[in-house]
Amino acid sequence: MTHLTLVKARKEDCNLLFDWANEESVRENSFDSSKIIYEDHYEWFIKKLKSPDTLIYIVKNGNQSIGVIRLEKRDNDSLLINYSVDVKYRRQGYGTKFLILMKENFSNKTLIGKVKKNNMSSIRAFEKAGYIKTDKPAYIEFSSKKVLRWRNEVNR
Ligand SMILES: CC(C)(COP(=O)(O)OP(=O)(O)OC[C@H]1O[C@@H](n2cnc3c(N)ncnc32)[C@H](O)[C@@H]1OP(=O)(O)O)[C@@H](O)C(=O)NCCC(=O)NCCS
């Protein structure tokens, strides 16, 4: 049975997150695709754990660690979402479930995902989770809520 829980990342998760971050397709699908050095990751991770603008969750199914979700505050209303699923759990619907779980847990915020145009699995996951798609020149943007583009639309 699948029952996903969100567990806030702790210092002890540093190595697991390093392995996940350096996995080939995670690097390929990141906007900065260069390989990560452990010392840089450690420094980055400790900084992120302390940051009031970042939330990092390990997603668990029972005692299995399925993947990671990172949320970065963009402004008071919106959060940028980053996520990955451990290779051995991919193509089982978890990516889509992660994104639905985020919508449920952060329904008061707009969640934004920026996806490379060739990242078909993430594009499908956002679509299936019901996010709204906008084609930008350099990437595809997904939003958990309709973005109001014009000031006068707010008053309609
Ligand atoms: C993107 C990612 C999280 C998707 O996780 P997942 O658990 O495999 O996703 P799901 O099982 O929910 O699959 C979502 C859809 O993508 C499809 N899919 C999965 N892998 C695919 C692939 N390699 N090529 C094409 N479609 C793929 C699935 O079939 C499914 O669509 P369907 O139901 O219409 O068949 C995972 O591939 C991953 O961690 N990738 C590396 C990191 C990454 O790209 N993160 C997102 C950055 S924006």
CATH number, residue 57 = 3.40.630.30
pLDDT (tens place) for every residue of the chain, 156 residues total:
889 999 999 999 999 999 999 999 999 999 999 999 999 999 999 999 999 999 999 999 999 999 999 999 999 999 999 999 999 999 999 999 999 999 999 999 999 999 999 999 999 999 999 999 999 999 999 999 986 665 555 555
Strand order in the sheet with 4-8: 4-8, 54-61, 64-73, 78-85, 110-115, 140-143, 132-135
91 lines ligand 1 (CB under 6 A): yes
Asked if 107 and 80 touch (Cβ cutoff 8 Å), the reply is no
CA distance 100 to 118: 22
Which amino acid, 46? I
How many domains is the chain partitioned into structurally? Answer: 1
Q: 125 CB under 6 A from ligand 1?
A: yes
SS3 115: strand
pTM to 2 decimals? 0.93
Domain that holds residue 98: 4-154
Which atom from ligand 1 is nearest to the alpha carbon of 125? 14
